[in-house]
Amino acid sequence: MGPDTSAAVDHLRETLVERRTVFTGRLLSLHDDVVALPSGSQAGREVIHHPGAVVVVAVTGDGRIVLVRQWRHAVGGALWELPAGTRDAGEAAATTAARELREETGYAARRWSALGEAYVSPGYSRELLSFFLAEELTVGDASAAEDEVLDVRLFQPAEVTALVRQGMTDCKTVGGLALAGRLPAVPWTQG
């Protein structure tokens, strides 16, 4: 479905006037855009283009959840996350989900359900996450990319709640678990 671009939002619509590509990398590109606002004035917008990604909530028959831990250079530490990965050009999201689950964890699933899609941070990024529930898992061998070093572990729901409370995970994991109905209320105390 995607964002609303109908005439009903014309009073909010921004129109691209100029684009300058600041950076193009292996995964993303950064653009410095100038847009015309509905008032006629102009504003600057920095936009990251990303091909999109998938997030997989893989659940065993006894209700345990598959998470991977990896070092995240941007935050300077390791996080426990749902298996996820970037879509290849022209690749269907469901195909990416099955590939990423197998590569990162060694698991395959007999039953898949689409849970929805959401933009990561639409204030500056076009990255769209597609969420999937994977059930009826079978175990196999992982084959992570050469630049990925991962720990794979099965977690009980209470353990996942503890990880969320401790800040040891990320938003895509919290969102995926919530969409799958696998995240109980997490009491929060500011620390």
* 132 to 11, 71, 78: CA distances (angstroms): 35, 23, 23
User: Is 80 within 8 Å of 157 (Cβ atoms)?
Assistant: no
The amino acid at residue 180 is A
Q: Name the active-site residue from 14, 46, 104, 146.
A: 146
CB atoms within 10 A of CB 184: 13
Q: In a 3-state reduction of DSSP, which class is residue 178? A: helix
58 membership: H or E segment, kind and range: strand 53-58
User: Is 119 within 8 Å of 43 (Cβ atoms)?
Assistant: no
Q: What is the DSSP letter of 176?
A: H
Q: Please identify which residue in the block is written with the tokens 């996450």.
A: 129
Catalytic site includes residue 117: no
What is the C-alpha to C-alpha distance for residues 172 and 115, in angstroms, rounded to an integer?
Answer: 13
- Give the active site residues: 146
